[in-house]
Structure 1
């Protein structure tokens, strides 16, 4: 993690152990806007730095993802009404790879994992207004999870997020977080 990172909704319990960030969520934390559920929440934990232009952000996540809507992963945020979060999330009795894109209203997409690994590596790339989300599969191949639109300004906040809308005490870990130049725009090898 970088020394210039800062929190939105800093959790009471967090620590760096070596190069691994450990976060314990507070009660009822989430990022969500209006769609389907009708409410707005901006209470999730987000540890970020400001980035200008296109980039690729990568992180390996883990934790005790076991209660409804426990989640952790990457987030890119221009404002409280324009952001994306992606990572692992518990829903319907299984761990899913999940992405929410918010342009005033939140949408949600999930991909259930057949087998739950100890950790998942995800990356998010900004190519102008296009946002590409990928995960590293068991064969070591980057798979496309989502390609979407996000109306970002030149500079935005990029980092890791964790939430637990239904409880307190979800413990998430983040390792090998990095922000680099964007990967190629080629979608298919």
Structure 2
């Protein structure tokens, strides 16, 4: 499941079992560039492998959300200035669907997810420069969360990420992780 993976900023603790990967975050770990807050952080925990071409990456995530900005999910990274992360982020006292696209500057999109039951399955699909983010809803149907842009590149780093900008000790759980051929480019069902 995680063959040939490596850490960008290893967490305090982590373990791979047959069920998946668990990680405990370090204090003030995050990925962010400039926008609104005026700082750059590139010390989040990212477990990745080098990947070429188009692909779909999927995982089921859960965590002990307690502090503002506790987060976990999937990440595609070209370099420190170009990346996307998507998953669950804790804000305003609730778990939200969250995504950030960074092309020199980070943006941030959060959507309150009233049906969060402690787990979420999310996937990112790379189609050249287009990154599609989807989540599995309460009816087990894939829903579009976002479509965004990263520059074209032959390869990228792809994997799971977790951060806790306001504390240490966020426990992130990743199950059923996969990277495979990209799903169809069709965006809408008929």
SS of 2:11's equivalent in the other structure is coil
Q: Unaligned stretches of 5+ in structure 1?
A: none
CA contact (8 A) 2:115 2:138 kept: no
Tell me the distance in 2 between the aligned counterparts of 1:181 and 1:153.
Answer: 17
CA contact (8 A) 1:13 1:24 kept: yes
Q: Unaligned stretches of 5+ in structure 2?
A: none
Q: Hey, what does 2:2 align to over in structure 1?
A: 2
1:53 aligns with 2:57: no
- Report how far residue 17 of structure 1 moved: 2.4
Q: Hey, what does 1:35 align to over in structure 2?
A: 35
Tell me the distance in 1 between the aligned counterparts of 2:48 and 2:139.
Answer: 30
Q: How does 1:48-127 map to 2 (within 5 A)?
A: 48-127=48-127
Tell me the distance in 2 between the aligned counterparts of 1:2 and 1:166.
Answer: 28
1:20 aligns with 2:7: no
Tell me the distance in 2 between the aligned counterparts of 1:95 and 1:2.
Answer: 27
- Report how far residue 152 of structure 1 moved: 3.9
For normalisation by structure 2, the TM-score amounts to 0.97
- Report how far residue 92 of structure 1 moved: 1.3
For normalisation by structure 1, the TM-score amounts to 0.98
- Report how far residue 82 of structure 1 moved: 0.3
Give a deviation string over 1:18-71, Cα, whole Å, max 9, x none.
231000000000000000100000010000001101100000000112210000
1:162 aligns with 2:150: no
